[in-house]
Every structure is written in structure tokens, then in C-alpha cells.
């Protein structure tokens, strides 16, 4: 409705990305349909002939069932029912965060130390509820899946974080935490044994240690320092792995797909994420705007539609037409509002390719539904590779 619309955004050529990428990361704020988008992209890539695996974090039950995922077992399972005509295949798996973490510990800990770590109460809390562990483990699993070479394309759905940015920061936060100077301060008592260490520490550190002991109790502190001491030999491994994954995200063949809904908050998160990717030199493939409302009868404006409905309501006798006109007015107004929000995004980020997916009345929970979303993502094209 703006009088001076900006240039139309570049169309996001989804198929070109699906055919070339080796890693596709779907990201966006919670509640925008990220998991469904990841699954639809993976299915489409598979039906276009690529050996694909999709790593999901927390799929809705029926969507998971539609892909044959009944349990969280950390192993890619073949999805039945895809069209194999182009030679592709689809595997899917759900992330088991704790098990992934345990596997890293077992791989990297010195013989005999792994059990001490796995049994430590602090480790158990860290590996199942530290804010950021899920993101870190998703990245870890991505690296593992990619390393096997069993697939041409790994599609990863990111955890439902408050902010899309958490996902990029989490591995860094966890390694900083496990590797930081606070840890070394706490490590000292474990090595020195007993409280003698207090004398050699500076005043503020003593204060800190005292305070922390007071707050969380000596037992927690002891668990932490034992855990850290056992983990010490793994620091190198942790740092290396985090760095490796980070590099993988910048490698040629990786593409980020930012998912949003045509709503103010979701598009704002998408804008933050787009800017952050640029800062990190990470490759953005495009923006998917989900749940877009369209109207086939946009020639009839909301204003005229309401006016017509009013005249019918006053005259009486045409309830159906009046109700239909009111519905249409709401729909056109909603479509216009969504378009304005999108124009604002594209005005600020004119080079980001965009594709829209139409709102569906119900949720997607079978392969046909995913296939339809995939076709919408590709601008209405069937998956078959053009001859």
C-alpha cells in the first residue's frame, strides 16, 4: 500500500541451494515453523536426488511420526515413502543432547576418567540443562554427521531459543566457561588440597570463592572442581571441536536459511541474525517467510469490501455475502500488514533473497504436507530435476 514501494526483493532460489549445498542450517526465533521448514527442505533435496539427512531438535509429535521418528536415539533412520526416482534418499534423526555430550567425554577423556566425569552430579546438570548445551551438541552432531561422508547434504534445525543469536554464541559460551580463568581459580583448591590455597589468592578472588561457597554450598563447589580436574585433559579436545564446527559453518558448501513469520518480532530477530551472519562471514542463502496470507481477490480492497458488507447488513437478507465480505476484508488487511512488514525488512536488507510460504489452515504432519511446503518454497515447482 505504500506509495513508493522499494525494489522487489531478490527471489530466493531454493532449488539451486538444495542442489549444491553440503550443509544447510535453518535458524530463526521460536514458533516460526523452523522445524517444518527444515524437514520440507530435506525432503525436497532428497527427491531431487541428493542423499540427505535432517537433524531435528524438538519436532512436534505428529511431524516426527510422519518421518518415522518414534524415539530420540541419536541415530539417523531412513524415512520411508519418498520418491526415489532421482536417486536420492532421506534419513532423519532427533538430537539426544545428553548422549551426544557423553560420547564426546568418552572419546576424549583419559582412560579411567570418563566414568568419574559421567558420574559427577555437576556434569549431569551441565550436560542436561546448561543453557547452551543443546546448541553446542546440535553443532557437534552436525560435525559428526558431516564427517561420516554418508550424505551429500546435512540439514540441521536449530534449537528453539529465545533469540536466534543464542545458537551462534552457545558453543563459544560453553567453551569459554569450561576453559576460563574462573575454572582455573577453582581448580587450584582441588590441586592444593584443602583451604591453604586461600592464603595465596588475591583479596577479590578470596572474596569470590567465599561468596560462592556461601551461596551454592561447599559440596557443589567440590563437585565442580572435581569435575573440572577430571575434565582438564579434555580442554584441548573441547576447544578444537568447537573451533572445527565454527569453521565448518564458514566453509564453502554451508548455507544458512533464516526462517521467519510475517510478524514484527520474528522479522526483527531475522534482521539481527542476517546482520550477525554478515559480521561472521557466514553464508546466508536466503530468508523464508512462513505463514504468509494471500488473497486471490486482492482487486477488491478491504475498504470497499467492508462498505459492501455494511450496506448488506443494513438492508438485511444477504447474511452469507456480508460475512464472506467481512472475512475477505480481514484477509486483505492482514495480507497488506504482512507485506508492509516484509517491505521494511527488505528495505533494510535489499540483497537478502526472500521466498514466501503460504499460511495453511492446519499444521503439516505428513510427507504430502511437507512436499507441498517444499513446492511452495521452490515457487510452485514440483521436485523433479528439470531434464
2 — phi, psi (to 5°)? -70, 150
Q: What's the maximum distance between 2 C-alpha atoms anywhere in the chain?
A: 92
Q: Which residues pair with 25 in a beta bridge?
A: 156, 256
Answer for the pair 97, 174: CB distance below 8 angstroms, yes or no: no
Residue 264 sits in the site that holds other proteins (CB under 8 A)? yes
Residue window 66-105: x/- pattern of binding to other proteins, with contact defined by CB under 8 A: ----------------------------------------
Calculated CA dihedral for residues 112, 118, 123, 126, nearest 10 degrees: 130
Nearest CA to 335 among 289, 274, 273?
Answer: 289
By CB under 8 A, the residues from 285 to 304 that bind other proteins are 295-297, 299-300, 304
| 383 burial via Cβ count (<10 Å: 0-12, 13-18, 19+) | buried
Q: Please identify, using beta-carbon distances, which residue of 61 and 250 lies nearer to other proteins.
A: 61
C-alpha cell at 384: 523433479
Contacting residue, 101, 122, 167, 197, with other proteins by CB under 8 A? 122
Name the segment binding other proteins (CB under 8 A); options: 85-93, 119-127, 189-197, 247-255: 119-127
Q: Please identify, using beta-carbon distances, which residue of 182 and 278 lies nearer to other proteins.
A: 182
Residue 11 sits in the site that holds other proteins (CB under 8 A)? no
Place of cell 577479590: 204
Q: Please identify, using beta-carbon distances, which residue of 199 and 214 lies nearer to other proteins.
A: 214
Residue 207 sits in the site that holds other proteins (CB under 8 A)? yes
Residue 251 sits in the site that holds other proteins (CB under 8 A)? no
Name the segment binding other proteins (CB under 8 A); options: 79-87, 105-113, 164-172, 204-212: 204-212
Residue 228 CB, nearest distance to other proteins (Å)?
Answer: 9
Name the segment binding other proteins (CB under 8 A); options: 17-25, 29-37, 68-76, 101-109: 29-37
Answer for the pair 29, 265: CB distance below 8 angstroms, yes or no: yes
Q: Output DSSP code: residue 232.
A: G
Nearest CA to 102 among 120, 84, 86?
Answer: 120
Nearest CA to 282 among 147, 134, 167?
Answer: 167
Residue 198 sits in the site that holds other proteins (CB under 8 A)? no
Residue 34 sits in the site that holds other proteins (CB under 8 A)? no
Q: Could you count the other beta carbons within 10 Å of the beta carbon of residue 38? A: 26
End-to-end CA distance of the chain: 40
What does the DSSP assignment read for 66-118? Answer: HTT--S--SS-EEPSS---TTS-EEEEEE--HHHHHHHHHHHHSPTTHHHHHH
Residue 331 sits in the site that holds other proteins (CB under 8 A)? yes
Nearest CA to 95 among 32, 47, 155, 40?
Answer: 155
Contacting residue, 322, 367, 370, 377, with other proteins by CB under 8 A? 322
Residue 230 sits in the site that holds other proteins (CB under 8 A)? no
Contacting residue, 325, 367, 377, 383, with other proteins by CB under 8 A? 325
**Applying CB under 8 A, which residues contact other proteins?**
29-32, 58, 60-62, 121-122, 124-126, 129-131, 160, 162, 177, 180-182, 204-205, 207-208, 211-212, 214-220, 223-224, 261, 264, 266, 295-297, 299-300, 304, 308-309, 311-312, 315, 318-328, 330-331, 333-334, 337, 361-363
Amino acid at each position: 500500500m505504500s506509495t513508493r514501494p522499494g525494489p522487489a526483493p531478490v527471489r530466493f532460489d531454493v532449488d539451486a541451494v538444495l542442489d549444491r549445498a553440503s550443509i544447510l542450517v535453518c535458524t530463526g526465533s521460536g514458533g516460526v515453523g523452523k522445524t517444518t521448514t527444515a524437514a520440507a527442505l530435506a525432503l525436497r533435496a532428497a527427491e531431487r536426488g541428493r542423499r540427505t539427512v535432517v537433524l531435528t531438535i524438538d519436532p512436534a509429535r505428529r511431524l516426527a511420526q510422519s518421518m518415522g521418528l518414534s524415539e530420540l536415539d541419536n541415530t539417523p533412520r531412513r524415512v520411508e515413502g519418498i520418491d526415489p526416482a532421482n536417486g536420492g534418499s532421506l534419513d532423519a534423526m532427533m538430537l539426544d543432547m545428553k548422549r551426544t555430550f557423553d560420547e564426546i567425554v568418552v572419546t576424549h577423556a583419559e582412560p579411567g576418567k570418563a566414568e568419574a566425569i559421567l558420574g559427577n552430579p555437576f556434569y549431569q546438570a551441565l550436560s542436561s540443562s546448561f543453557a547452551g548445551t543443546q546448541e553446542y551438541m546440535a553443532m557437534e552432531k552436525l560435525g559428526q554427521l558431516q564427517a561420516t561422508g554418508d550424505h551429500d547434504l546435512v540439514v540441521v534445525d536449530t534449537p528453539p531459543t529465545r533469540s536466534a543469536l543464542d545458537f551462534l554464541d552457545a558453543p563459544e559460551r560453553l567453551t569459554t566457561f569450561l576453559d576460563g580463568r574462573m575454572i582455573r581459580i577453582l581448580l587450584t583448591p582441588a590441586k592444593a588440597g584443602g583451604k591453604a590455597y586461600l592464603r595465596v589468592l588475591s583479596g577479590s578472588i578470596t572474596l569470590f570463592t567465599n561468596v560462592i561457597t556461601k551461596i551454592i554450598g561447599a559440596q557443589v563447589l567440590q563437585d565442580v572442581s572435581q569435575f573440572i580436574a577430571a575434565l582438564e585433559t579434555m580442554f584441548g579436545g573441547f576447544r578444537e571441536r568447537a573451533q572445527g564446527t565454527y569453521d565448518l559453518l564458514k566453509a564453502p558448501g554451508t548455507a544458512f536459511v533464516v526462517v521467519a513469520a510475517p510478524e514484527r518480532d520474528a522479522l526483527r530477530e531475522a534482521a539481527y541474525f542476517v546482520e550477525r551472519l554478515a559480521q561472521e562471514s557466514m553464508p546466508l542463502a536466503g530468508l523464508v517467510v512462513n505463514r504468509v496470507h494471500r488473497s486471490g481477490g486482492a482487486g477488491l480492497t478491504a475498504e470497499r469490501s467492508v462498505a459492501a458488507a455494511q450496506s448488506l447488513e443494513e438492508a438485511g437478507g444477504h447474511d452469507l455475502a456480508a460475512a464472506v465480505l467481512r472475512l475477505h476484508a480481514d484477509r486483505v488487511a492482514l495480507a497488506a500488514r504482512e507485506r508492509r512488514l516484509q517491505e521494511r525488512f527488505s528495505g533494510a536488507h535489499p540483497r537478502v533473497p526472500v521466498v514466501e510460504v503460504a499460511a495453511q489452515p492446519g499444521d503439516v504432519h505428513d510427507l504430502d504436507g511437507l512436499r507441498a511446503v517444499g513446492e511452495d518454497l521452490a515457487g510452485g515447482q514440483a521436485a523433479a530435476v528439470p531434464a
